[in-house]
Structure 1
Amino acid sequence: MKRTPHIGIMRLLGIAAIALVTGAAHAALPAPNPQQAALAAQKKAAADAQAQKDKETLLATMDAISDRWRARAAKEGWPTHAPVPVAAPAAAVSAPTTAATTAPVVAVRSEKAGTAAPSEDIKKRQTQAVPKGTPPTVNAK
């Protein structure tokens, strides 16, 4: 008597074969050739130059808006303060922030967490129930 394999086993073997073939096909990408590497470096340099140009344009626009506002404030009689001098504006925009340049962390005080004293306006006791139809009363302090 001839036994035929179970259909579930056949499906499982088929799925495993497909997984092996597709896994091997996507295992690794080939290394770029020198022409592709040069093209990628050229694109990166162009993107960096455009980003630097955008930063300089942004800073120039911010300075123009600030100057225009200060001129109008002088005409309108609005109080102004001297602008804060910045040594290197482009570096300030492009430099990443680090732990040394950020403000120190202040502990959060919370009534709920028990790290702060209760507020002055909290209820001292639970509100008492009153019979239906009783006129409201005003608390006099």
Structure 2
Amino acid sequence: MSLIKTTTVLLLLAMPALGLARLPPPTPAQAQLAAEKKAQAAAQAEKDKLALVASMDALSARWRSRAASEGWKANPPVSLAAPLPALVQPNTQTSPSGQPGGVMGPAAKLAPMTSEKSGTAAPSADVKKAPSKPYQQKK
């Protein structure tokens, strides 16, 4: 093998090891600077959120004030006292749906297994009865 091929093979073999190299931990000054930047970004995000809410409220108030003169129907605004529980709860499931503890109940165990595919159930109403006719182009 030539020197160039050997070097290329060694570099290709060393690439994964280079990808696993770790950076040194940040210095206390770098960590403090990163924490300050994170706090500034959070404050700016909160400020932007409040500005967005204020502009949405102003737009809504302006639309509502014009609605009566324009003949539009305006329903009263909906206020949310607290976040909806569905938005707060984690979206994890502890057991299969309808199966308490993940165990089939006695009624489910006694139910017959039916399947269109295996022929133990009637076909659905939307199943084709016969193949479609080929398209004939008009001459």
TM normalised by structure 1 equals 0.54
Q: Which has the higher contact order (CA 8 A, sep 6+)?
A: 1
Are the structure 2 counterparts of residues 96 and 45 from structure 1 closer, same or farther at C-alpha, using a change threshold of 3 Å?
farther
Q: Deviations over 1:7-45 (max 9, x none)?
A: 2xx334312444549945971111100000000000000
Task: Extract unaligned runs of 5+ from structure 2.
Answer: 93-122
The offset of 1:46, in angstroms, is 0.3
Are the structure 2 counterparts of residues 47 and 116 from structure 1 closer, same or farther at C-alpha, using a change threshold of 3 Å?
farther
The offset of 1:74, in angstroms, is 1.8
1:99 and 2:88 correspond: no
Percent sequence identity is 40
How many residues are paired up?
A: 105
CA distance, structure 1, for counterparts of residue 124 and residue 80 of structure 2: 39
Q: 2:54 aligns with which of 50, 54, 60?
A: 60
Task: Extract unaligned runs of 5+ from structure 1.
Answer: 1-5, 101-114, 134-141
Could you tell me which residue of structure 2 aligns to residue 111 of structure 1?
none
CA distance, structure 1, for counterparts of residue 80 and residue 89 of structure 2: 16
1:76 and 2:84 correspond: no
Are the structure 2 counterparts of residues 58 and 116 from structure 1 closer, same or farther at C-alpha, using a change threshold of 3 Å?
farther
Q: 1:118 aligns with which of 118, 126, 137?
A: 126
Runs of 4+ in structure 1 off by over 4 angstroms are 21-26, 95-98, 124-127
Could you tell me which residue of structure 2 aligns to residue 43 of structure 1?
37
Larger radius of gyration: 1
1:30 and 2:38 correspond: no
RMSD between aligned residues: 4.3
The offset of 1:72, in angstroms, is 0.3
